[in-house]
Structure 1
C-alpha cells in the first residue's frame, strides 16, 4: 500500500494535476475516520471524456452521486423505454474505485416526464395507475442496482419553501399525503439493504426544518426507516449562519437519523433571488450586475470563500458522530450548475477546485479542518 500514493502522484502530475507524495492530503484521507467525502458526477467525467476530472475524482473522493443520470427523465424517459447505459457506467465507475455509490433520486416533482402523471387522454392519472408506475419504476431502477448502490435519495424536495407544508406537486395531488411512504416502501422492498434518505434544500430554515421533522416522524410511525436526512448545502458566503446549520443537524439527530450534506457549494456571486435555496424553477434573465467576476475571483472574496469552507467543515467534523457523508455538487468550478442558475452563463466559483483543476485555498483550509 505504501507505494500507491507516489505512483498516483506521478500519474496525476503527468495530467497537470499538482499533487504528489509530499502534496496535500486528499479529502477522502483527511476525513477517513469521520465521514465519506464525495462529488456529484456528470457522464463526461465517468466516461473518461474529461480525463483530468476523472483523475481528480479517483484521487480525492470515496463516494459519488449522479448529478442527473438517475433522475426519472434521464433513466426512464418513456413508459416502455429505460436508458440504463449512463447509469450502468456510473455505478461501474464507483465499484471499480471502491466508492460508496449513491442513487439520486426516485421521487421528485422536477425532471419527471409528463406522461408519468397522465392517462392516455392527457388527463390526470388515477391514484392506482400512478402508484403502479411508481412501484414499477422503483423496482426496475433500484432492483437493477441492488447491492451496488449503497443509498438512495428516495424523496427529493417534498416540503415547500415558506410554511414547511407538503409541497403542492402532482405526487401529492394524485396520491395524497402517503406519497412519500409509498416511495420508501417500494424502495425498501426493491433493495432491503440499501440506505434510504430524504433530501431537501434550505433545511437551516426553522419552518422547513419542522416540516421535514414532521414528515420523517410520520414515516417512522409507519415503521419506515429513514437512514439519513440529506441537507443540500447550497449556501452563500454569509447565509445561513453556522449556528443555523448546526441547529438543524442537532434537531435531525434527535429523530434517531443521521445527516448527510448532499449538494455542497458556496455561491460567491450576487443572487437576484431573495431565497437561499435550489428551486430550479426560479430563473432570471442575464444581468451583468449578477456576474461580476468574469476574469477571476478577487483575493478578498477568495479569502471569504476559504473561511466559509473552513467553518463549515469544522462544523461537520464536530458532528462527525451523526454525519455520514459530505458531497460537493460538482468537481471543479467549471462543472457547477451555478454557472447556469439562477442566470445562464455566469462565471461561478463555488467549489474546492478551480477551472484549472487545481486546489483553491479553500481546499487546504478544509484539509486543515480535519486536524
Structure 2
C-alpha cells in the first residue's frame, strides 16, 4: 500500500512538472548572446569605469549619482592650464585641490585631465604670443603641476598632452584669433626629426617630476589609421628619448569627432580597429584609456531612437574593453553623466537624461560596473 502511494505521488508530481514546463514555468537555458556578454565582463583584470564631474557639480544631485556607482574620477576642466596657470604670475589651485580632497574623502582613483593641449587660455592663443613666451608658460605650468600632484596617493594617471594630431595624421596647430579650437603650442617649433617641441618638453617635465603618476598620451577623433599611426610613432619616439609614456587615451566623443559612419553604421568593423589599437598598446606595455565617452544627438526629435542606438554601441564598446582587459589595464571614463547641450552642436548623451532619469545606456554601464567591482 505504501509503495502504491509513493508511485501515485511521483506520477502526480511528474504530471504537474510537465504542465508547468509547457506554461513556461521551467526556465529555458540562458540566451547565448547574453551569456557571451557576461563572459566579457568576467575577466581577471577588472575594467575600471568612472566619470567626470565639474566643480559646479559638487554637492549636487550629480555628485550623489556619481558616488552611487563610481570609484574612478576625472575632474572635467579644473586641472587645465586655462584654470590653473592661464598667464604669467597667475595661479589658481583652489578648485582642483578641492577635487583631490573630495577624492580622498570618498576613496576614489583620479585621472588628471590637465594636458598641454588646445584647452589653453586666451593668453596662450593670442596671435602675437611668441614661441619663447609659450615655452616659458608651458614649462612653468607643467613643472608646477607635476610637483603639486606627484605625492597625492589618489592620483594614479595624468594626461600629459591631448588632441595633438588631426585625423589625417598631421600636427594640430594654431589658428587666427582666440575663439577657435586650436593648438597654440605648436608655435614653439619642431625638433630635427619633425616632432613638436611642446610634446617632447611636456613628457620630459612629467617624467622628471611625476615619477609616482602614470603618464598618458591622450588623443581625440575616431579610429582613423593615419592619426593613430602618428600617435604610435610619437610614443615610441618619446621613449627613444628616455621619456616615460605609460598609456594612451582615446576621447570617444561619439558622432562628434568619431564619425557616425564608423561607430553606428559599421560598428563591428570599427570595434575591431579599436581592439587592434588596444592590443598594440598592451604589446608595448601601455595602459589604454577611453577618456571622454559620450554620444552626440544633433536633433532632439530623434532622441529616443538615438538613445537605443547609443545603448547598442556602448554594449559593443564595453564588450571590446572588457575582453581586452584580460591582457592589460583598460579604463573607461564617461564625459559627464547627464545630458550636456552645446549650442550649434547638439545634445551630448550619457547615462542620465536632463531630469536625471537613467537612459537606456545606463543598464549597460551598470552591469559592467557591478561585475567589475
Query: Quick one: distance in 2 between partners of 1:249 and 1:324?
Result: 8
2:141: which partner in 1?
137
Unaligned runs of 5+ in 1: 1-28, 271-289
Contact 1:116 1:130 in 2 (8 A): no
Contact 2:43 2:323 in 1 (8 A): no
1:364: which partner in 2?
363
Query: Quick one: distance in 2 between partners of 1:32 and 1:302?
Result: 31
2:53: which partner in 1?
41
2:68: which partner in 1?
59
Deviation at 1:232, TM superposition (A): 0.8
Contact 2:351 2:362 in 1 (8 A): yes
Please give the residue correspondences for 1:295-310 in structure 2 after superposition, counting only pairs within 5 Å.
Answer: 297-298=303-304, 300-310=305-315
Taking structure 2 as the reference length, the TM-score comes to 0.74
* Divergent runs of 4+, >4 A: 29-33, 115-118
2:277: which partner in 1?
248
Deviation at 1:30, TM superposition (A): 9.2
1:235: which partner in 2?
254
2:337: which partner in 1?
331
Contact 2:220 2:252 in 1 (8 A): yes
Query: Quick one: distance in 1 between partners of 2:283 and 2:43?
Result: 24
The 1:314/1:43 distance shift into structure 2, 3 A limit, reads same
Contact 2:253 2:295 in 1 (8 A): yes
1:112: which partner in 2?
121
Q: Per the alignment, in what secondary structure is the counterpart of residue 114 of structure 2?
A: strand
The 1:90/1:291 distance shift into structure 2, 3 A limit, reads same
Query: Quick one: distance in 1 between partners of 2:204 and 2:324?
Result: 29
Contact 1:125 1:174 in 2 (8 A): yes
Deviation at 1:31, TM superposition (A): 8.9
Query: Quick one: distance in 1 between partners of 2:129 and 2:312?
Result: 52
Deviation at 1:234, TM superposition (A): 1.1
1:174: which partner in 2?
188
Contact 1:65 1:102 in 2 (8 A): yes
Please give the residue correspondences for 1:165-314 in structure 2 after superposition, counting only pairs within 5 Å.
Answer: 165-169=170-174, 170-176=184-190, 177-236=196-255, 239-240=262-263, 241-267=270-296, 269-270=297-298, 290-293=299-302, 297-298=303-304, 300-314=305-319
Q: Per the alignment, in what secondary structure is the counterpart of residue 359 of structure 1?
A: coil
Contact 2:50 2:70 in 1 (8 A): yes
The 1:358/1:147 distance shift into structure 2, 3 A limit, reads farther
Taking structure 1 as the reference length, the TM-score comes to 0.74
The 1:117/1:218 distance shift into structure 2, 3 A limit, reads farther
Q: Per the alignment, in what secondary structure is the counterpart of residue 245 of structure 1?
A: helix
Deviations 1:280-322 (A, max 9, x none): xxxxxxxxxx4434xxx33x43322221111111111111133
Deviation at 1:113, TM superposition (A): 3.5
- State the aligned residue count: 303
Contact 2:45 2:329 in 1 (8 A): no
Q: Per the alignment, in what secondary structure is the counterpart of residue 154 of structure 1?
A: strand
The 1:160/1:313 distance shift into structure 2, 3 A limit, reads same
Contact 1:38 1:326 in 2 (8 A): yes
Contact 1:328 1:351 in 2 (8 A): yes
